[in-house]
Amino acid sequence: MRVKTFVIFVLTAGFFMIGISVASQDQGAKKINLDGGAKGAIDFPHHVHQAAVGDCDVCHSSFPKVTGAIKDLKNQKQLKKKQVMTKTCLKCHRAKKKAGEKTGPVSCSGCHVKKA
């Protein structure tokens, strides 16, 4: 009888924990180093963008919430080279600059850091 109660307790606690982890969305890394090919890597402040942009789908509609997703999709030819850069990053930065709002870099070296 006691064993049975214990087993039920453990199972209930287990399902409760799974419920919590599904409910709280994985925010991903605070900063992400993105591969920028020959132009050099990009230090991308992920959480700054989550706060500034709000909607995850603005970026994650073109690539999933998985580390290395952009590179993988480019290798599989499902994303063109510079597609995310032009259609997502620069599109927003330029529009906000034009509107006179707080924005991110629009020049190459503002994003790409060449290894010395």
Nearer to ligand HEC, 12 or 27 (CB): 27
Total residues found in the chain within this entry: 116
The span from the CA of 34 to the CA of 28, in Å, is 14
Identify whether the C-beta of residue 92 lies closer than 8 Å to the C-beta of residue 105.
no
Q: How is the beta sheet containing 112-113 ordered, strand by strand?
A: 31-34, 41-45, 112-113
Regarding 92 and contact with ligand HEC (CB under 6 A), the answer is yes
The span from the CA of 99 to the CA of 44, in Å, is 22
The CB-of-6 to ligand HEC minimum distance in angstroms stands at: 35
Regarding 62 and contact with ligand HEC (CB under 6 A), the answer is no
- With CA atoms as reference, report the closest residue to 45 among 60, 61, 28: 28
The CB-of-20 to ligand HEC minimum distance in angstroms stands at: 16
The CB-of-76 to ligand HEC minimum distance in angstroms stands at: 13
Contact residues toward ligand HEC (CB under 6 A) are 25-29, 32, 34, 36-39, 42, 44-46, 48-50, 52-53, 56, 58-60, 65-71, 74, 81-85, 88-90, 92-93, 96, 102-108, 110-112
